[in-house]
Amino acid sequence: MKIALAQLNYHIGNFSSNVQKMIRSIREAENSGADLVVFAELGISGYPPRDFLEFDDFINRCHLALEDIAPHCKKVAAIVGVPTYNKDGKGKPLYNSAAFIANGKVQKFIHKSLLPNYDVFDEYRYFEPNKRFEIIEFQDRKIALTICEDLWNVQDNPLYTVNPMDELMALKPDLMINIAASPFNYHQIEIRTEILRRNAEKYKLPLFYVNHVGAQTELIFDGGSLVMNAKGEIMEELKYFDEDLKIVEVDDIQNGKASTQNEKKLVIGMIHDALVMGIRNYFEKLGFKKAIIGLSGGIDSALTAALASEALGPENVYNVLMPSEFSSAHSVKDAIELAENLQMPYDKISIEEAYSAFESTLKPYFQNLPFNIAEENIQARIRGVLLMALSNKFGYILLNTSNKSEAAVGYSTLYGDMNGGLSVLGDVYKTQVFELAQYINREKEVIPHHIITKPPSAELRPDQKDTDSLPEYDILDEILYQYIEKRLGPKEIIAMGFEEKLVQRILKLVNTSEYKRYQTPPILRVSSKAFGMGRRMPIVGKYLS
Amino acid sequence: MKIALAQLNYHIGNFSSNVQKMIRSIREAENSGADLVVFAELGISGYPPRDFLEFDDFINRCHLALEDIAPHCKKVAAIVGVPTYNKDGKGKPLYNSAAFIANGKVQKFIHKSLLPNYDVFDEYRYFEPNKRFEIIEFQDRKIALTICEDLWNVQDNPLYTVNPMDELMALKPDLMINIAASPFNYHQIEIRTEILRRNAEKYKLPLFYVNHVGAQTELIFDGGSLVMNAKGEIMEELKYFDEDLKIVEVDDIQNGKASTQNEKKLVIGMIHDALVMGIRNYFEKLGFKKAIIGLSGGIDSALTAALASEALGPENVYNVLMPSEFSSAHSVKDAIELAENLQMPYDKISIEEAYSAFESTLKPYFQNLPFNIAEENIQARIRGVLLMALSNKFGYILLNTSNKSEAAVGYSTLYGDMNGGLSVLGDVYKTQVFELAQYINREKEVIPHHIITKPPSAELRPDQKDTDSLPEYDILDEILYQYIEKRLGPKEIIAMGFEEKLVQRILKLVNTSEYKRYQTPPILRVSSKAFGMGRRMPIVGKYLS
């Protein structure tokens, strides 16, 4: 039996596009002699459909889409992820299901048992967990079909009290198929492979695993669908960050004939590829082509522009330089050098006239109080107004350039440099920003050397440096990582050797900046704990603040 | 046996304040001869603690707070809501628990079985559902102690497959106590009373119900704790929108001696009270006193200012009038009249100079293209910069004045009039804005009559009216209500008699404005479906768009 693994980039709610892609894959699989083609979890709707699932109209459209696909599955069977109604009269209204289609008709629905409800996942919000375990019989083989999280309960301190594969083993399956929607983070590929390996080893069965690829706003799916033999060895692997289709003979896997694998990539390279796809898909799926970026001469905007240039083409990245009296001599020169290196269009627009106007308008109300954060923010907000005006006039999407370290401690201006349709670096710590810049320069100097080596500064008052009020970034980022990703408390972080007062000040900054992050653009998620939908904090909370 | 119902306004993570309040109530209950004092769900931490629950440090502080309370419960027992660890080695790491404290020590923990995970609730994100059912024995009575949602599975098509009270009935309880965190919406009081009544009637037991009061950012708890007899009659009821403590003799309830009830208030009056408390608590809990508002002369900002004046005192509401060349003659006059009616401070600040500066700065780049949304938004954004500059200089919190109808269809300017620390009317449809204004004027004209009667306009270009591009608000709001609150699809709404093209246009506006609402301030929630944490929509979604 030949199984086709179809790894597609779906678009949430775009049924016609999703169905077309799936039919194309069915045809391709059929032409290549496949018996069964497997698509990812909730492929019909795209993942995550979120509260669209609360609309009967949306569920009906999912079912109409399934009906459009079924007639194409006459010569080749298919497994298609789709939400279905729970008809028991109690429990949550839906199941997260896999339709097994053969002979042009849906033969059976298999429902997901373990529903992730942590970090970015909200599946228990919509779905009832399955409690009846069934097997798919097809061409004299018994298939244990599970959906994503169903295979993930093999860790210590398991999160769930049942284990679907344990139940299915009683039905003596010959192989496992798992359809997934497993988003990228830079630890995830390793963890995911290990989890799949544990299943193959524990149940001594080959495993066919099909994941999503592509970005849906902040969530980035890296693909990496694969086939493992019963020893947990990867026999076949699909591309990362791109659509792919591969056909695998089940007997070959069982006989242990290994195939090619993806070249192992550096973590920083994976983050780079994820961000590029994240930008590209955001624009494509919203129907936009062109980005606008405020290019300061600093490393964050430089890196954002370089990534956008790769994602959208340099001609589609319009850079605006808006220096002020506090900008260093090098800022404009560095920014222009970057734009020219990449052949991106740019303009230099002065903020002086608008700043003078605000200064004069506010003079009677500011009561000769000294220059402070208010004036600093006015500069950042004028830049925001200029960028948004150009965005509105010409249909650019403004890309936000704030990094995760800044976003964490609130060192950015709401309605100023926090503006944007999408935050490219909001899940990338400053130390990783430097690494990414070096990665982009790995073959030639794209980002001018001076941008990477000069001390970071917001340039909102004379001779300002980030280190005036923050520790060095390697220290700051480590404290932030322990608090944000690892959820350690102050005592535990201090016990690691960091200065007590510093730790308390940093954690307080993080918690009191929650109100700012609430209004931040969606952030491309590349870590195990990004700001946004996966980190839900009270604003009026008084903890550590 | 005398039971004290302690209805308190907690502050999330503010353990010292929460503990102090609870100890004060314990003392008061003790002095009044109570045997048992009952506090609301997760009172120790405040509700909802959200992802603070993922920090061991936070859970430890909850337990230290519980240890601070226990010694005060020597003469009077107490029921205190607190998160506890699940020590089973599998399942979610925590329980949502109620500690029964007597003789100065925690005697028992009862865990919550039914975990709401819809709308604004995420409890399955943190908690394992309880499956072991125990009763509290105290002073020769058997108490069936449950936590909030545990009593809510008495509806048709129940959401859960178990029913905790059914299990507890086997243990022959004498009375029910339910500790809750049930947030306000303008349907909720009626629904909640009905749910509690069904329990009293079904189990033929008196019910002591203790709720939270007070606002935690967007969530508003109305209080309304109560005692019902076994026939489902309300025998005692605590205040709405205020802290309260009442002591009730269990025998009196069982003998059917009824007590006073809250006066039934108009729905619009309840919304009014909720918004006032929402503003007040947001400022108090963040440690701020003063608000700044952009007063346009329109009804939304007028209503926001009137509500803020009630919440914070008129002297703490600073109003800024920023007319443009497109503002109608009456706008300034109406705004000043309102400020003077309420004796709120105000200033008139011109946007002309800043607008000219932006016009001149952008002229070389705008290429003589006609005046459009870009210029409209520049005006709104200049106002945003001015308000934020004053906010930064003097420590005001900017109140956002957008209403729900506007927020739904995206008729507002990101980084302009969408600015603010808190959105007061973002869950109030325009038709309800008019009702609230009338309610505020119920005794005398606070909001000038002309503000209420003139046709709504954004005044961003000559002679603009909202109805230039939107239907009348009674039609718009009804379509929005069916889509947002009722989750009806286009077919169903059209079948109600609305014009097909209009419905499609409105729903498309709602869905394509998701990217704007993502960056909106937190919105005080008064309906069953508010924008914000309770409505989670994909941005790149293509559904109905």
Q: What residues contact residue A498 under an 8 Å CB cut-off, 6+ apart? A: A475, A478, A479
Q: Do A349 and B361 touch (CB under 8 A)?
A: yes
Residues A40/A179, Cβ–Cβ less than 8 Å:
yes
DSSP codes of every residue in B143-185: EEEEEGGGG---SSS-SSS--HHHHHHTT--SEEEEE---B--
Q: Do A385 and B390 touch (CB under 8 A)?
A: no
What tens digit of pLDDT does each residue of A415-457 get?
A: 999 999 999 999 999 999 999 999 999 999 999 999 999 888 8
ipTM metric: 0.96
CB within 8 Å of chain B, chain A residues 47-76? 48-52, 54-58, 60-61
Cα–Cα distance measured from residue B147 to residue B168, given in angstroms and rounded to the nearest whole number: 13
- Indicate the residue of B57, B381, B533 with minimum beta-carbon distance to A491: B57
Q: pLDDT value at position A258?
A: 63
- Indicate the residue of A90, A281, A361 with minimum beta-carbon distance to B158: A90
Q: pLDDT value at position B255?
A: 74
Cβ neighbours of A375 in B, within 8 Å: 389
- Indicate the residue of B358, B381, B389 with minimum beta-carbon distance to A374: B389
Q: pLDDT value at position A458?
A: 83
Q: Do A12 and B540 touch (CB under 8 A)?
A: yes
Q: pLDDT value at position A254?
A: 75
One of 3.40.718.10, 3.60.110.10, 3.40.630.10, 3.30.420.40 is the CATH number of B2-254, namely 3.60.110.10
Residues A196/A154, Cβ–Cβ less than 8 Å:
no
- Which amino acid, A412? S
If you average pLDDT over residues A194-222, what whole number do you get?
Answer: 98
Here the tokens at position B323 are: 């007319």
Residues of CATH 3.60.110.10 domain(s) within chain B? 2-254
Closest CA to A79 of A123, A131, A42, A116: A42
In this structure, CATH architecture of domain A270-466: 3-Layer(aba) Sandwich (3.40)
Domain A2-262: CATH superfamily is: Carbon-nitrogen hydrolase (3.60.110.10)
The alpha-carbon gap from B486 to the nearest alpha carbon of chain A, in Å, equals 9
CB within 8 Å of chain A, chain B residues 396-425? 414-415, 419, 421
Q: pLDDT value at position A156?
A: 85
Residues B217/B204, Cβ–Cβ less than 8 Å:
no
What tens digit of pLDDT does each residue of A495-509 get?
A: 999 999 999 999 999
Q: Which of B2, B112, B246, B529 is catalytic?
A: B112
If you average pLDDT over residues A357-361, what whole number do you get?
Answer: 98
Q: Read off the pLDDT band of A461 (50, 70, 90).
A: confident
Here the tokens at position B325 are: 């060349």
CB within 8 Å of chain A, chain B residues 420-479? 421
Residues of CATH 3.40.50.620 domain(s) within chain A? 270-466
Residues A113/A162, Cβ–Cβ less than 8 Å:
yes
Q: pLDDT value at position A462?
A: 84
Q: Do A540 and B118 touch (CB under 8 A)?
A: no
Q: pLDDT value at position B328?
A: 82
The alpha-carbon gap from B519 to the nearest alpha carbon of chain A, in Å, equals 4
Give me the total of CB pairs closer than 8 Å, taking one residue from chain A and one from chain B: 275
- Indicate the residue of A125, A217, A489 with minimum beta-carbon distance to B55: A489
Q: pLDDT value at position B326?
A: 84
Residue B31 near chain A (CB below 8 Å): no
Q: pLDDT value at position B120?
A: 98
Q: Read off the pLDDT band of A467 (50, 70, 90).
A: confident
Q: pLDDT value at position A262?
A: 64
Q: Do B540 and A217 touch (CB under 8 A)?
A: yes
Cα–Cα distance measured from residue B479 to residue B499, given in angstroms and rounded to the nearest whole number: 10
If phi over 0 gives left and psi between -120 and 50 gives alpha, with beta otherwise, what is residue A482?
alpha
Residues of CATH 3.60.110.10 domain(s) within chain A? 2-262
Q: pLDDT value at position B258?
A: 63
How many C-beta neighbours within 10 Å does residue A462 have?
8
Cβ neighbours of B282 in A, within 8 Å: 540
Q: pLDDT value at position A469?
A: 86
Q: Which of B148, B376, B430, B459 is catalytic?
A: B148
Per DSSP, A222 falls in state E
Active site includes A108?
no
CB within 8 Å of chain B, chain A residues 503-532? 515, 518-522
Residue A79 near chain B (CB below 8 Å): no
The alpha-carbon gap from A32 to the nearest alpha carbon of chain B, in Å, equals 32
Q: Do A55 and B487 touch (CB under 8 A)?
A: yes
Q: pLDDT value at position B261?
A: 62
Query: Helix axis angle, A267-286 relative to A430-440, nearest 10°?
Result: 90
Cβ neighbours of B356 in A, within 8 Å: 357
- Positive or negative, the Cα torsion across B335, B336, B340, B346? positive
Mean pLDDT, chain A, as a whole number? 96
Per DSSP, A298 falls in state S
If phi over 0 gives left and psi between -120 and 50 gives alpha, with beta otherwise, what is residue A312?
alpha
For residue A294, pLDDT over 80 is answered with yes
Residue A158 near chain B (CB below 8 Å): yes
Q: Do B217 and A490 touch (CB under 8 A)?
A: no
What tens digit of pLDDT does each residue of B322-374 get?
A: 998 888 888 899 999 999 999 999 999 999 999 999 999 999 999 999 999 99
Strand duo B397-400 + A105-111: pairing: unpaired
Cα–Cα distance measured from residue B234 to residue B236, given in angstroms and rounded to the nearest whole number: 6
Active site includes A148?
yes
The alpha-carbon gap from A419 to the nearest alpha carbon of chain B, in Å, equals 8
Q: Report which secondary-structure segment, H or E, holds A82.
A: strand A77-85
Q: Do A57 and B490 touch (CB under 8 A)?
A: yes
Q: Do A540 and B58 touch (CB under 8 A)?
A: no
To test the contact with chain B by mutation, choose from A12, A20, A415 the residue with the greatest count of B C-beta atoms within 10 A, namely A415
Q: pLDDT value at position B461?
A: 83
Active site includes B73?
no
Closest CA to B225 of B259, B201, B272, B256: B259
Cα–Cα distance measured from residue B110 to residue B208, given in angstroms and rounded to the nearest whole number: 16
Task: Spell out, as residue ranges, where chain B has pLDDT lower than 70.
Answer: 256-263
What tens digit of pLDDT does each residue of A94-131 get?
A: 999 999 999 999 999 999 999 999 999 999 999 999 99
Q: pLDDT value at position B327?
A: 83
Q: Do B491 and A57 touch (CB under 8 A)?
A: yes
Q: pLDDT value at position B156?
A: 85
B270-465 fold: Rossmann fold (3.40.50)
Closest CA to B178 of B81, B314, B272, B252: B81
Cβ neighbours of A54 in B, within 8 Å: 487
Q: pLDDT value at position A310?
A: 98
Q: Which of A2, A21, A30, A41 is catalytic?
A: A41
Q: Do A49 and B389 touch (CB under 8 A)?
A: no
Residue A370 near chain B (CB below 8 Å): no
Q: Do A388 and B414 touch (CB under 8 A)?
A: yes
Which residue has tokens 């006989």?
A255
CB within 8 Å of chain B, chain A residues 170-209? none
Closest CA to A320 of A342, A343, A296, A298: A296
What tens digit of pLDDT does each residue of A229-262 get?
A: 999 999 999 999 999 999 999 999 877 666 666 6
The alpha-carbon gap from A61 to the nearest alpha carbon of chain B, in Å, equals 10
